[in-house]
A and B are shown apart, each in its own frame.
Chain A
């Protein structure tokens, strides 16, 4: 009867059955709100982002926040040890997370983290990649698509320039990195479904 919300940002991933679903959600919401605020602050630091209309900023953040967080926290997923360290400091093995009902989403997150981790990006490269991730988010609801496309083009150029100048002998890294964008989209959809399922039927 325990209520399970096994997200690495959740300080209390397993709640007793006596707690109401709303209480469990409110507690989880308090855990992820600071992380979402940090993504908003990060977005504001992207050159050109604040030139977009506020409506379009909100639309990009709505569809891109989870994807940015997935990149930011992919180091919490230890593919070698097959374990995830939550932000509360506790480490959960893959087996224990499976017992908590984490299935294909968890596998996809490990897969993504392993692929991204293997690229060995520097912190500034990772930050620029996160900026590309954010402006590459779902365009539904965007009013000025041209402005978002222009910003995306500028950021992709900057990322390509940074990566290729540091690794002139490796022409494969940049295209490999861009291939992670559709992976993130798929993860985002899967993750939304999982959270909505909890909201509808905890």
Chain B
């Protein structure tokens, strides 16, 4: 539990939101 953002699932949501944008740009 030394990285709150990972353990709260925040990093996953952030990555997906950023990656989604990259995928849209590739399309």
**A interface residues, Cβ below 8 angstroms from B:** 29, 33, 36-37, 40-41, 44, 54, 57-58, 61-63, 65, 192, 195-196, 199-200
Given A40-B18, A41-B17, A61-B14, 17 extra CB contacts under 8 A:
A36-B13, A36-B17, A37-B13, A40-B17, A44-B18, A57-B18, A58-B18, A61-B18, A62-B5, A63-B5, A65-B5, A65-B10, A65-B14, A192-B8, A195-B8, A196-B4, A199-B1
User: Which residues of B lie under 8 Å from residue A33 when comparing CB positions?
Assistant: 13
Q: Are A200 and B1 in contact (CB under 8 A)?
A: yes
> Across the two chains, which residue of chain A brings its CB closest to B1?
A196
User: Which residues of B lie under 8 Å from residue A44 when comparing CB positions?
Assistant: 18, 21
**B interface residues, Cβ below 8 angstroms from A:** 1, 4-5, 7-11, 13-15, 17-18, 21-22
- Chain B residues touching A, majority SS: helix
Q: Are B4 and A195 in contact (CB under 8 A)?
A: yes
What separation, in Å, do the CA atoms of A41 and B5 have in the docked complex?
Answer: 18
User: Which residues of A lie under 8 Å from residue B7 when comparing CB positions?
Assistant: 196, 199
What separation, in Å, do the CA atoms of A63 and B5 have in the docked complex?
Answer: 7
Q: Are B18 and A62 in contact (CB under 8 A)?
A: no
In the complex, 30 of the A-B residue pairs with CB atoms within 8 angstroms, ordered by the A residue number, are A29-B9, A36-B13, A36-B14, A36-B17, A37-B13, A37-B17, A40-B17, A40-B18, A41-B17, A44-B18, A44-B21, A54-B18, A54-B22, A58-B14, A58-B15, A58-B18, A61-B18, A62-B5, A62-B10, A63-B5, A65-B5, A65-B14, A192-B4, A192-B8, A195-B4, A196-B1, A196-B7, A196-B8, A199-B7, A200-B1
What separation, in Å, do the CA atoms of A62 and B5 have in the docked complex?
Answer: 6
Q: Are B10 and A36 in contact (CB under 8 A)?
A: yes
What separation, in Å, do the CA atoms of A41 and B8 have in the docked complex?
Answer: 20
Q: Are A40 and B4 in contact (CB under 8 A)?
A: no
User: Which residues of A lie under 8 Å from residue B5 when comparing CB positions?
Assistant: 62-63, 65
